[in-house]
Amino acid sequence: MERFFSPQQTFAVRTHLRDSFLTNSLYCSQLVKDAIVDRLRNISGQRPAVQVENPDLLFDCRLYKNRLLLSFDLSASPFYQRAYRSRQLQASLKENLAAALVEWSQWHYGQPLADIFSGSGTIIFEAIYKAFNLPGGLLRKRFGFFNLEEFDRQNFDLLRKNWNYQIPETRLKIFCSDSDASALKAVSANWRNFPEWVRRAVELTQQKSDFRQLKGFSGFCLISNPPYGYRLQSEENLSLLYKDLGDFLKRKCPASKAFLLVGDLQLIKKIGLRPSWRRIVFNGPIECRFLKYELY
Ligand SMILES: C[S@@+](CC[C@H](N)C(=O)[O-])C[C@H]1O[C@@H](n2cnc3c(N)ncnc32)[C@H](O)[C@@H]1O
């Protein structure tokens, strides 16, 4: 431990426990913290300080069936958090789920992309990550391993610089819209976090609009996560919304493919189109369907 961690650094311990003689995770954290302090004090004569918020090093302690595994948290925040989110909405998808939807859709940057229920833009941003082969941690300012004694900043910066980025041959055409003005504000705020060279290579059109008022899309790939149940809409409104969405796709999106993540299986029927493909997806605890529609 002392190879990675010096007494001048602050630390904290986070515990998860199950099926063990200790049942209180705070108490377990306290015991582990005391053991770490004792060890470093015995070796160096100095006592490291505990700092619960933003410590230099976070220890992850897992006690399961009375076996304890102690690790450094080298990430500090979950990997799916890409750090482009200045603003988040209540119903935003997790980045990793949005990335999976883009992957399953087989969207390729040569095809124009639209999300007509964009919320904060997670789906389009994940598509941009894919198109440019951006590493997931590109925008993150901090990782847990930055505070390790042996962390080499220069090498890390070099690695980021020399990453195998891809610059698509043509400017990406991406459209996003939402009926809620605050969603579009979130998209703009988030988009500003991307590097200038990425933003220059994307023609991103944003529009505040109910989807019914949109002109339509020919030859597009549409990927969306329309609202469902747990949000504020009444059931009746949602039924109508899904029926109108089906009509919109049928009438206004020729030669396109539409992919919808729907969290209420009853609402799928209201769309009135037969999906050519579907898969079961969990959005947190909500069992959803990811559906593909071929539109002619
Ligand atoms: C489940 S959220 C989408 C979340 C988004 N994928 C994200 O990660 O932030 C559904 C979005 O649909 C929008 N919405 C609801 N009714 C709409 C309508 N009739 N037309 C367009 N957008 C609508 C809501 O404002 C909300 O932002």
Give the ligand 1 atom nearest the CA of 180. 25
State pLDDT tens for residues 224-253: 999 987 555 566 689 999 999 999 999 999
Residue nearest to atom 3 of ligand 1 (CA): 119
Mutate to test the pocket of ligand 1, among 120, 178, 224 (most ligand atoms within 8 A of CB): 178
User: What is the model's pLDDT at position 4?
Assistant: 79
- Average the pLDDT over 85-94 and give the result: 84
The CA 240 to ligand 1 mean position distance, Å, reads 15
pTM, to two decimals: 0.89
Range list for CATH 3.40.50.150 in the chain: 95-133+143-294
Q: Is the CB of 244 under 6 A from ligand 1?
A: no
State pLDDT tens for residues 103-120: 999 999 999 999 999 999
Q: Is the CB of 211 under 6 A from ligand 1?
A: yes
Residue nearest to atom 5 of ligand 1 (CA): 119
Query: Is 87's pLDDT higher than 80?
Result: no
Task: Give the DSSP H/E element, type plus range, for residue 99.
Answer: helix 95-105
Q: Which of 295, 272, 284 is nearest to 225 (CA)?
A: 284
Three-class DSSP labels, 229-291: CCCCCCHHHHHHHHHHHHHHHHHHCCCEEEEEEECCHHHHHHHCCCCCEEEEEEECCEEEEEE
119, 91 Cβ separation under 8 angstroms? yes
User: What is the model's pLDDT at position 235?
Assistant: 64
Q: Which of 110, 84, 111, 86 is nearest to 99 (CA)?
A: 84
The DSSP code for 139 is T
User: What is the model's pLDDT at position 197?
Assistant: 95
Q: Is the CB of 120 under 6 A from ligand 1?
A: yes
Q: Is the CB of 123 under 6 A from ligand 1?
A: yes
- Average the pLDDT over 163-174 and give the result: 93
Residue nearest to atom 7 of ligand 1 (CA): 92
Query: Is 147's pLDDT higher than 90?
Result: no
- Rounded CA gap, 246 and 253, in Å? 10
User: What is the model's pLDDT at position 192?
Assistant: 96
How many CB atoms are closer than 10 A to CB 219? 11
User: What is the model's pLDDT at position 8?
Assistant: 87
Q: Is the CB of 131 under 6 A from ligand 1?
A: no
Residue nearest to atom 20 of ligand 1 (CA): 210
The CA 7 to ligand 1 mean position distance, Å, reads 49
State pLDDT tens for residues 261-279: 999 999 999 999 999 999 9
User: In this structure, which CATH number among 3.30.70.2740, 3.90.78.10, 3.40.50.150, 3.40.50.1100 belongs to the domain 95-133+143-294?
Assistant: 3.40.50.150
Q: Is the CB of 227 under 6 A from ligand 1?
A: yes
Tokens of 240: 């109508």
Q: Which of 273, 270, 214, 282 is nearest to 243 (CA)?
A: 270
How many CB atoms are closer than 10 A to CB 234? 8
